[in-house]
């Protein structure tokens, strides 16, 4: 009788925990400019290597290198830098406002600003993003009013969505920004459906889906990939791999697959992996994928390799599960500093202009905050009327809700 | 007018709606070339092309998720879930997304979407082809839930659902597809061509959502029913000789509480019949509303005759199904006091 081997369960764990020395030796980073740029009409089968590398443009010395460089002018890059700075300063002020009790909750984009800010520049008016809670850069890049964002965060009388959603769950149809759910990944198949509708209607608009590394585990991710692949929908599917899903490291969602981008191969999708902290690279890849969708060549999957430098939300303390110094050790650096250094190297920017710009943005954000707070904060009593809670459940209020509204005293 | 089965009436509703509004798109598992496993979308792909009526991958959450995106874009998707028993993977999309979109975005985005699905047993479908999950939809704010019981209503209500600016769950009692089945499984069902409700206009028309229909006028007891149970209830009246008023709710939400209240105040007695399980079922909501609105008119306790709180069995299907004998006993009990 043979002796059967006893089995054991594999439970992945990050290499380091609080108190350990950060270790990113497993993150392979090719030199800037090394990864090829295939034709937009390339057959997905011929570009599988792009899912296993990292497309990078900005070198450690701040130079723009290789075939993906050159999609933005200096002026456009300066504008992009200003948007990233605005987002960072906005986040810092709103984080503080939450700590001061002016609202219940906040989520910042710290360290990931380049992803949404650079991506949005590849879109046209009328295209539709289906964002997660960490793509506020899509709005800021379009210069959506900061005060409207703050009104939403404060759930005050001027909140465009009437105090109905958690802070930062914006909705802005005119800015191609789909209502954020708060449930993870549900928006991914919706983005594909929106893109299918555009194709059914013989329109020219494209859709963009957004998820994080952790939520690629959801069924919705796979359903979206099947639908995108089957109907060759004009959609760009974005995975923002910021390494952490609250306290869960990205290896828990990635399992045995080599990269998140490689998940696209089973669906026959062109799958690209890009340095998410490299503004130039993100824009170049976004432009490639958007053009592919616009030319009816079908969907593209993109993984942005970045790092969530802050907590998941104001309810989270990353010091409890990862080394405090990990963020500083992240090998792809900080997106704002990298773009700033590039522009200085190019002679298009200076420390002085940067400092001056930062001060101007601080002023703008502060005056927007004053304006929003004059209308009200969550605890100041200027919330939309409770009567409003009953509105918009349906286009027309059915009798049972009218009765309940009256019972509630409104 | 034409004589139609419920299947033909549903097909005709799709056809009429697609003809008058090019935003209407129809998709789901097997609905394209084949026309659906129950044939409710037969011929639509041929007539309207494969971008307005098409097959979908076997992913209910993908079907609903994609349809929500299409609705948000501005189309009017009318999608089929092959059996209601398969809808659960899509529940998150229905509850957290379709139902909430208008409210959470303060009308910035809306979701005019119809999700059709066959419900109910009596076809030896076992637990995965027989369920009636209406209560998991009526519990969700932002959804409308409809269940027709005849070809005429099926077409009119489906056209209204497609026109509706909000998501509508459209439940089709599959045992009624071919005739007004009254629970007497030992006898062949009367075909719709011999029934007045099988007369259906070929042109577009709507039956407004939120209006019940009195199927049988009576004075002794009010029966609240929907779907297949409408005919079971009528059979129970005929067999017991009790002069019950049978109300076909047609729309569970919004609910026509006025018609219910008026009838129960008249009869003083109320029996609620549904095929779904008892505990937490829609009958509980109806019982609560009846006592809230008619307490001082009630002569006897409200009774609920429903499927048992078990999974829908295969071999014991007719022991589970609340047939005319059980309903008849409830009517007699109501009249005893």
Write the secondary structure of B177-194 as one string of H (helix), E (strand) and C (coil).
CCCCCCCCCCCCCCCHHH
Do B152 and B218 belong together in one domain? no
pLDDT in tens, A101-135: 999 999 999 999 999 999 999 999 999 999 999 99
Question: Quick check: is B267 in a domain?
Answer: yes
Quick check: is B207 in a domain?
Answer: no
Rg (CA), chain A: 22
Task: Locate the chain B residue with the closest alpha carbon to A128.
Answer: B73
CA B257 to mean position of chain CA atoms: 17
DSSP type of residue A221: H
Q: What pLDDT was estimated at residue B13?
A: 98
Question: In chain A, what residues touch B25 (CB-CB under 8 Å)?
Answer: 197, 200
Per-residue pLDDT band for A1 (boundaries 50, 70, 90) equals: low
Question: Is A395 part of the contact surface with chain B (CB cutoff 8 Å)?
Answer: yes
Residues of B in contact with A222 (CB under 8 A): 59
Do the Cβ atoms of B7 and B38 come closer than 8 Å?
yes
Regarding whether B133 and B73 lie in a shared domain, the answer is yes
Distance to chain A for B275, nearest Cα, Å: 25
State the complex-level ipTM. 0.97
CB B65 to CB A172 under 8 A?
no
Does residue A65 sit at the B interface (CB-CB below 8 Å)?
Answer: no
Does any CB of chain A come closer than 8 Å to the CB of residue B210? Answer: yes
Structure tokens at A67: 């075939």
pTM: 0.97
Compute the distance between CA of residue B189 and CA of residue B178 in angstroms, rounded to an integer: 8
The 10s digit of each residue's pLDDT in A166-193 is 999 999 999 999 999 989 999 999 999 9
How many angstroms separate the Cα of A347 from the Cα of each of A77, A231, A328, A353, B29?
A: 13, 47, 27, 12, 59
Q: How many other CB atoms are found less than 10 A from the CB of residue A170?
A: 27
Evaluate whether residue B244 is within a structural domain: yes
Rounded to the nearest angstrom, the minimum Cα separation between B289 and chain A is: 11
The three-class DSSP label of residue A76 is helix
Q: How confident is the model at residue A256 (pLDDT cuts 50, 70, 90)?
A: confident
Q: What one-character-per-residue DSSP string does A136-193 give? A: THHHHHTT--HHHHHHHHHT-TT-TTTT-S-TT---BGGGTBPPP-SSSSHHHHHHHH
**CB pair distance less than 8 Å for A179 and B109:** yes
| Same structural domain, B139 and B257 | no
Place of tokens 């992803």: A115
Same domain, B58 and B179: yes
Are residues B31 and B8 located together in one domain of the fold? yes
Does residue A195 belong to the interface with chain B, where contact is any CB pair within 8 Å?
Answer: yes
Q: Enter the DSSP assignment of B88.
A: G
Q: Is there a contact between A338 and A279 (Cβ–Cβ < 8 Å)?
A: yes
Residue B73: which of A164, A197, A222 has the nearest Cβ? Answer: A197
Contacts of B263 (CB under 8 A, 6+ apart): B214, B222, B245, B247
Cross-strand pairs, B3: B199
Residue of B nearest to A229 (CA): B57
Q: Indicate which residues of B carry an active-site annotation.
A: 129
Residues 8-37 of B with CB under 8 A from A: 25
Query: Cβ of B72 and A165 within 8 Å?
Result: no
Residues B223 and B174 in one domain: no
Domain hosting residue B241, numbered range = 213-336
Number of domains in chain B: 2
Restricting to A residues 102-161, those with a Cβ less than 8 Å away from any Cβ of B are: 128, 130, 160-161
Q: Is residue B127 part of a domain?
A: yes
Kindly give, in sequence order, each residue whose CB lies less than 8 Å from that of residue A104, ignoring residues fewer than 6 positions away: A98, A166, A167, A378
Give the residue among A213, A195, A220, A222 at the shortest CA–CA distance from A290. A195
CB distance B110 to B101 below 8 Å: yes
Q: How far apart are CA A268 and CA A288, in angstroms?
A: 17
Q: What is the CATH number of the domain that holds B290?
A: 3.40.50.920
Of B200, B225, B254, the residue at which a domain comes to its end is B200
Q: CB-based burial of residue A149 (10 Å sphere; 0-12 exposed, 13-18 middle, 19+ buried)?
A: buried
Same domain, B172 and B296: no
Contact list, B92 vs chain A (CB under 8 Å): 183, 186, 220
CATH at residue B8: 3.40.50.970
Q: Are B158 and B71 in the same domain?
A: yes
pLDDT of residue A369: 98
Contact B141 A393 (CB under 8 A): yes
Task: Provide φ and ψ at B200, rounded to 5°.
Answer: -130, 130
The verdict on B178 and B218 lying in the same domain is: no
Are B232 and B140 in the same domain? Answer: no
Mean pLDDT of all residues in A325-342: 97
The pLDDT of residue B181 is 98
Indicate the pLDDT class of residue A26, thresholds 50, 70 and 90.
confident
Of B145, B165, B200, the residue that ends a domain is B200
Domain end residue (candidates: B175, B200, B225): B200
Q: Is residue B87 part of a domain?
A: yes
Helix (H) or strand (E) holding B114: strand B114-119
Q: Does residue B187 lie within any of the structural domains?
A: yes
pLDDT value at residue B245: 98
What is the H or E stretch that residue B79 is in?
A: strand B76-80
| Domain annotation covers residue B300 | yes
Residues B114 and B224 placed together within one structural domain of the fold: no
Question: Is there a contact between A164 and B104 if contact means CB atoms under 8 Å apart?
Answer: yes
Instruction: For each of the domains in chain A, give its residue range(s) and CATH number, in order of start.
Output: 44-312+323-378 (3.40.50.970), 385-410 (no CATH)
Q: Which residues contact A29 (CB under 8 A, 6 or more apart)?
A: A54, A56, A275, A331, A332
Closest in A160, A223, A393 to B142, CB measured: A393
Instruction: Identify the pLDDT of residue A158.
Output: 98
Report mean pLDDT in 10-residue bins for chain B, 337 residues.
97 98 98 98 98 98 98 98 98 98 98 98 95 98 98 98 98 98 96 94 98 98 98 98 98 98 98 98 98 98 98 97 98 94
Q: Does A207 touch chain B (CB under 8 A)?
A: yes
CB contact under 8 A, B93 and A181: no
Residues of A with Cβ-Cβ distance to B101 under 8 angstroms: 179
Mean pLDDT, range A377-397, rounded to an integer? 94
What is the per-residue pLDDT across A342-362, written as a single tens digit (0 to 9) for each?
Answer: 999 999 999 999 999 999 999
Rounded to a whole number of angstroms, the distance from the CA of A192 to the nearest CA of chain B is 6
Do B188 and B236 lie in a common domain? no
- Cβ distance of A186 and B106 shorter than 8 Å: no
């Amino acid at each position: 009788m043979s002796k059967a081997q006893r089995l054991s369960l594999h439970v992945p764990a990050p290499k380091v925990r609080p108190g350990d020395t950060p270790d990113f030796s497993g993150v392979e980073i090719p030199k800037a400019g090394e990864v090829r740029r295939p034709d937009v009409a390339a057959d997905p089968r011929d570009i599988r290597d792009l899912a296993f590398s990292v497309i990078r443009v900005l070198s450690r010395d701040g130079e723009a290198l290789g075939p993906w460089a050159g999609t933005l002018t200096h002026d456009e890059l300066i504008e992009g830098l200003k948007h990233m700075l605005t987002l960072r300063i906005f986040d810092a002020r709103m984080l503080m406002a939450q700590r001061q009790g002016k609202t219940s909750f906040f989520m910042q984009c710290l360290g990931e600003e380049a992803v949404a800010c650079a991506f949005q520049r590849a879109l046209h008016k009328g295209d539709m993003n289906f964002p997660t809670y960490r793509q506020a850069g899509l709005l800021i890049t379009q210069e959506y009013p900061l005060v409207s964002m703050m009104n939403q965060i404060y759930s005050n009388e001027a909140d465009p969505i009437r105090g109905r959603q958690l802070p930062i769950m914006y909705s802005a149809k005119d800015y191609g920004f789909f209502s954020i759910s708060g449930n993870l990944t549900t928006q991914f198949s919706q983005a594909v459906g929106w893109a299918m509708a555009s194709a059914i209607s013989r329109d020219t608009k494209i859709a963009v889906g957004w998820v994080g590394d952790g939520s690629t585990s959801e069924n919705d991710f796979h359903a979206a990939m099947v639908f995108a692949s089957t109907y060759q929908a004009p959609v760009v599917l974005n995975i923002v791999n910021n390494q952490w899903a609250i306290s869960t490291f990205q290896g828990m969602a990635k399992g045995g697959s080599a990269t998140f981008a490689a998940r696209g191969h089973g669906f026959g999708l062109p799958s690209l992996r890009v340095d998410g902290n490299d503004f130039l690279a993100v824009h170049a890849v976004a432009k490639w994928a958007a053009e592919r969708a616009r030319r009816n060549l079908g969907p593209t999957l993109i993984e942005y390799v970045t790092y969530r430098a802050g907590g998941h939300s104001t309810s989270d303390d990353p010091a409890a599960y990862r080394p405090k110094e990990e963020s500083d050790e992240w090998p792809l650096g900080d997106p704002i500093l990298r773009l700033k250094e590039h522009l200085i190297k190019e002679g298009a920017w200076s420390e002085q202009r940067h400092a001056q710009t930062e001060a101007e943005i601080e002023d703008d954000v502060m005056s927007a905050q004053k304006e929003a707070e004059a209308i009200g904060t969550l605890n100041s009593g200027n919330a939309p009327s409770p009567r409003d809670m009953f509105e918009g459940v349906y286009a027309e209020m059915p009798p049972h809700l009218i009765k309940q509204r009256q019972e509630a005293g409104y | 007018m034409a004589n139609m089965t419920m299947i033909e009436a549903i097909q005709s509703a799709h056809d009429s709606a697609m003809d008058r509004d090019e935003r209407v798109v129809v998709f789901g598992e097997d609905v394209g070339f084949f026309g659906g496993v129950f044939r409710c979308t037969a011929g639509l792909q041929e007539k309207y092309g494969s971008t307005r009526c098409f097959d979908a991958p076997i992913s209910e959450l993908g079907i609903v998720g994609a349809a929500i995106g299409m609705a948000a874009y501005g189309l009017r998707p009318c999608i089929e879930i092959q059996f209601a028993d398969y809808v659960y993977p899509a529940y998150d999309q229905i509850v957290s997304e379709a139902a909430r979109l208008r409210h959470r975005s303060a009308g910035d985005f809306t979701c005019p979407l119809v999700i059709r699905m066959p419900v109910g047993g009596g076809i030896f479908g076992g637990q995965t082809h027989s369920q009636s999950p209406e209560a998991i939809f009526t519990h969700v704010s932002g959804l409308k839930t409809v269940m027709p019981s005849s070809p005429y209503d099926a077409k009119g209500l489906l056209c209204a659902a497609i026109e509706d600016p909000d998501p509508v769950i459209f439940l089709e009692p599959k045992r009624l597809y071919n005739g007004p089945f009254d629970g007497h499984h030992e006898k062949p069902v009367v075909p719709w061509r011999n029934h007045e409700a099988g007369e259906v206009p070929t042109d577009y028309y709507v039956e407004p959502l939120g209006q019940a229909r009195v199927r049988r006028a009576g004075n002794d007891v009010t029966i609240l029913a929907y779907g297949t149970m409408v005919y079971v209830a009528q059979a129970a009246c005929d067999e017991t000789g009790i002069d019950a008023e049978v109300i076909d709710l047609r729309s569970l939400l919004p609910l026509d509480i006025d018609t219910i209240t008026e009838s129960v105040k008249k009869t003083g007695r109320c029996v609620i019949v549904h095929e779904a399980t008892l505990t937490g079922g829609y009958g509980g909501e109806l019982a609560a509303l009846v006592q809230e609105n008619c307490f001082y008119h009630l002569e006897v306790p409200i009774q609920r005759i429903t499927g048992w709180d078990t999974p829908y069995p295969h071999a014991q299907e007719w022991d589970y199904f609340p047939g005319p004998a059980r309903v008849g006993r409830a009517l007699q009990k109501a009249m005893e006091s």
